[in-house]
Structure 1
Amino acid sequence: MPHIIVKLWPGKSTQQKAKLAEAITESVTSVLGYGDDSVSVAFEEVQAAEWAEKVYRPDIVGKPEQLFKKPGYSM
C-alpha cells in the first residue's frame, strides 16, 4: 500500500517506465512516509483512440472529487 496505476498512451520505453516508477516511489515515500517496499507502480497502456472512452470520461470527468491535478492546469 499504496498501489499507483499510471495510464498512458503506448510507446514509452521500459527504461522510461522504470525511471517514472522510481520517481513516483521516491515521491510517495517522501511525502506519505511509506517505505519503498510497500509501494507498487503499474502501467496501463491505452490507445489514443480509446483514451476518451477508457480514461477521460470515466476517470477524469466521471470522478472529479478524486482528481487533484486536472489536465490543462498548472499546479
Structure 2
Amino acid sequence: MPHIQVKLWKGKTQLQKKKLAGALVKAAISIIGYGEASFSVTIEDIEPSLWKEKVYLPDILAKSDILYKEPGYKMD
C-alpha cells in the first residue's frame, strides 16, 4: 500500500494541501497502478527556520540512496 509523505514550508492552506494530495495520488495511480483506496498521504508543515534540521539533513542528505529527485539548492 503506497504512502506518500510531503514536507513543505508552513503557510499553505488546507485546500492547497488537499489538492496536492489528490494530484499526487492521481499521478501515482497513472504510473504505478493500484487503486485510489490503496493510497494514503501525509503533509507536514515545517517552519522555514527548521528546514535544514528537520528535512534537509535527515531526509535529503542522509537518504541520498533513495532520493529520486535532488533539490536545486544546497544548504551549508
Shorter-chain TM-score above 0.5: yes
What secondary structure does 2:7 align onto?
strand
- Between the aligned partners of 1:37 and 1:27, the Cα distance in structure 2 is 14
Structure 2 unaligned segments of length 5 or more: list them.
Answer: none
- Between the aligned partners of 2:3 and 2:63, the Cα distance in structure 1 is 18
Q: Indicate the percent of aligned positions where both proteins have the same amino acid.
A: 52
What is the CA distance between 1:29 and its match in structure 2?
Answer: 0.8
What secondary structure does 2:27 align onto?
helix
Divergent runs of 4+, >6 A: none
Deviation readout 1:2-57 (Å, 9 max, x if unpaired): 01110011110111111100100101111011100000111111111111001000
TM-score by length of 1: 0.92
Structure 1 unaligned segments of length 5 or more: list them.
Answer: none
Number of corresponding residues: 73
* Structure 2 residue 6 is matched with structure 1 residue 6: yes
Cα root mean square deviation, aligned:
1.1
What secondary structure does 1:12 align onto?
coil
